[in-house]
Chains A and B, each alone.
Chain A
Amino acid sequence: KQEVTQIPAALSVPEGENLVLNCSFTDSAIYNLQWFRQDPGKGLTSLLLIQSSQREQTSGRLNASLDKSSGRSTLYIAASQPGDSATYLCAARSNDYKLSFGAGTTVTVRA
């Protein structure tokens, strides 16, 4: 069974600082890894999808890396803004097509 872990559980930074969010997974046999953002009381918004054959994916201030062999992915958010405050979840798509989620990292960016 795929286990996904996210560390830290919570993070508070001043505006302008770069954010580094970590995700690890136990089974390296994955199709892809997806990062989501969830605002309080809302649904999940897809941020980035990294295929298993890729090393990284970028979208604006967001950059996600994937090291499949070591079972790790990292989401970098450059020059953080108060609007980046949210919970960030990573999810690994296993070969049985199940999308397994971590518990998330709750980010607070202080103005």
Chain B
Amino acid sequence: DAGVIQSPRHEVTEMGQEVTLRCKPISGHNSLFWYRQTMMRGLELLIYFNNNVPIDDSGMPEDRFSAKMPNASFSTLKIQPSEPRDSAVYFCASSPGPSTEAFFGQGTRLTVV
């Protein structure tokens, strides 16, 4: 398996623009997590899905953030409108189940100017 695949790897956008980050989990994994990493706050859980259903989105910072998982092999994290303080590395992770070993993608480095 190729592991968790995220795209794009790098994204530079202007403030106010919509940004969509994509994630393809490992085949057969039923749980998917979105994290954000910054120097100041470390790794923060934004939202996680189990069997394509959002279980906990309490980490989503604002209504500008939304996430979907339309099927077992694809998820998106959207920021609209984007702001400079959203600049961070966004990671997607998947695991076979909600309590099993998690595997991370290579991340998307987002820069909002």
The interface-forming segment of B60-68, B76-84, B95-103 is B95-103
Q: How many B residues touch A, CB cutoff 8 Å? A: 21
Closest to B91 in A: A43
Give CA–CA (A31, B100) in the complex, Å. 8
Query: Which residue of chain B has its CB nearest to the CB of A6?
Result: B42
Given the complex, which residues of B lie within 8 Å of A36, measured CB to CB? 104
Distance in angstroms between the alpha carbons of A103 and B39 in the assembled complex: 9
Interface size of A in residues (CB-CB distance below 8 Å): 22
The total of Cβ contacts below 8 Å across the A-B interface reads 49
A32, A43, A103, most chain B CB atoms within 10 A: A43
Hey, what's the 0/1 contact readout for A78-111 against B, CB within 8 Å counting as 1? 0000000000010101001111111110000000
Is A98 a contact of B107 with CB atoms below 8 Å? no
Instruction: Kindly report which residue of chain B lies nearest to residue A36, judged by CB atoms.
Output: B104
From residue B60, how far is it (CB to closest CB) to chain A in Å?
A: 13
Q: Are B45's CB and A46's CB within 8 A?
A: no
Q: Which B positions have Cβ atoms within 8 angstroms of A?
A: 31, 33, 42-43, 45, 48, 50, 55-56, 91, 93, 98-107
Instruction: Give chain A's interface residues, CB within 8 Å of chain B.
Output: 31-32, 34, 36, 42-46, 49, 89, 91, 93, 96-104
